[in-house]
Structure 1
Amino acid sequence: MSFYLTALLQGLCFAGIALGIYISMKIFNIPDITTDGSYTLGGVVTGILLTNHVAGYLILPTVILAGGLAGAITGIIHTKLKINPLLAGILVMTALYSINLTVMGRSNLPLIGTASLFTSISVVTDVNQNTLVILLLFVVAITALIAYLLKTDFGIAMRATGNSESMVRALGVNTDRMKITGLALANALTAVSGYLITQFQGFADINMGIGIVIVGLGSVIIAETLIGWSQITAVWLSLALVLAGAVVFQLVLALTLDIGVDANLLKLVTAIFVLIIVSLPRLTKTTD
Structure 2
Amino acid sequence: MNLISLIGAIEIGLIFALVALGVYISFRVLDFPDLTVDGSFPLGAAVAAAMIAGGINPVLATGVAIVAGCLAGMTTAWLNIRFGILHLLAGILTMTALFSVNLRVMGRPNIPLINQPTVIDLFSWLNPLVAAVGLPGRPTLKVLALLIIVTAVGALLARFLTSEFGLAMRATGANPRMAQAQGIRTDMHTYVGIALSNGLVALAGALFAQTAGFADVTVGTGTVIAGLAAVILGETMFRTRPIVLAIFSCVVGAITYRIAIALALNTGWLGLQASDLNIVTAVLVGLALIMPSVANPMRSLLKRRTS
Match of 1:204 among 188, 211, 215: 215
* Number of equivalent positions: 285
Aligned equivalent of 2:142: 131
SS at match of 1:102: helix
**In structure 2, which of residues 218, 231, 236 is the aligned counterpart of residue 220 of structure 1?**
231
Give the SS at the match of 1:210: coil
- Post-superposition Cα deviations, 1:113-156, rounded to whole Å, max 9, x if no partner, equal 21112234302332222212211111110000000000100000
Partner of 1:122: 124
Which of 250, 256, 260 is residue 252 of structure 1 equivalent to? 260
Unaligned runs of 5+ in 1: none
State the partner residue of 1:113.
115
- Residue by residue, what CA displacement relative to the aligned partner does 1:41-98 show, whole Å, maximum 9, x if unpaired? 0000010011011023311221111000000010011111111100000000000001
Counterpart of 1:200, as a letter, is T
Code of the aligned partner of 1:142: V
Q: 2:183: which partner in 1?
A: 172
Contact persistence 2:42–2:220 (CA under 8 A): yes
Following superposition, the deviation at residue 26 of structure 1 comes to 0.6
**Distance in 1 between residues matched to 2:144 and 2:125, nearest whole Å:** 7
The equivalences for 1:1-288 within 5 A come to: 1-125=3-127, 126-228=137-239, 232-260=240-268, 261-286=272-297, 288=299
Kindly provide the amino acid, as one letter, of the partner of residue 22 in structure 2.
G
Larger radius of gyration: 2
TM-score w.r.t. the length of structure 1 is 0.96
144-153 or 111-120: bigger deviation: 111-120
Report if aligned partners of 2:48, 2:58 keep a CA contact under 8 Å in 1.
no
- TM-score, structure 2 normalization: 0.90
Range moving further from structure 2, 115-124 or 28-37 = 115-124
SS of 1:204's partner is strand
Give the RMSD, CA atoms, in angstroms. 1.3
Give the AA of the match of 2:118. Answer: S
Q: Which amino acid aligns with 2:284?
A: F
Is this contact kept in 2: 1:123–1:133, CA < 8 A?
no
Following TM superposition, by how much is the alpha carbon of 1:285 offset from its aligned partner in structure 2, in angstroms? Answer: 4.8
CA distance in 1, matches of 2:110, 2:23: 26
Give distance in 2, aligned partners of 1:285 and 1:120.
Answer: 47
Shift, 1:227, TM fit: 2.9
CA distance in 2 between counterparts of 1:225 and 1:95 reads 34
Counterpart secondary structure, 1:279: helix
CA shift, 1:287, in A, is 5.2
Q: Which amino acid aligns with 2:179?
A: V
> 1:64–1:188: 8 Å Cα contact kept in structure 2?
yes
Identity %: 38
Alpha-carbon distance between aligned partners in 2 of 1:57 and 1:3, rounded to the nearest angstrom: 28
1:230-261 CA deviation, whole Å, 9 max, x = no partner?
A: xx232111101110000000000110111032
Kindly provide the amino acid, as one letter, of the partner of residue 244 in structure 1.
Answer: V
Distance in 2, Cα, partners of 1:40 & 1:56: 16
CA contact (8 A) 1:8 1:247 kept: yes
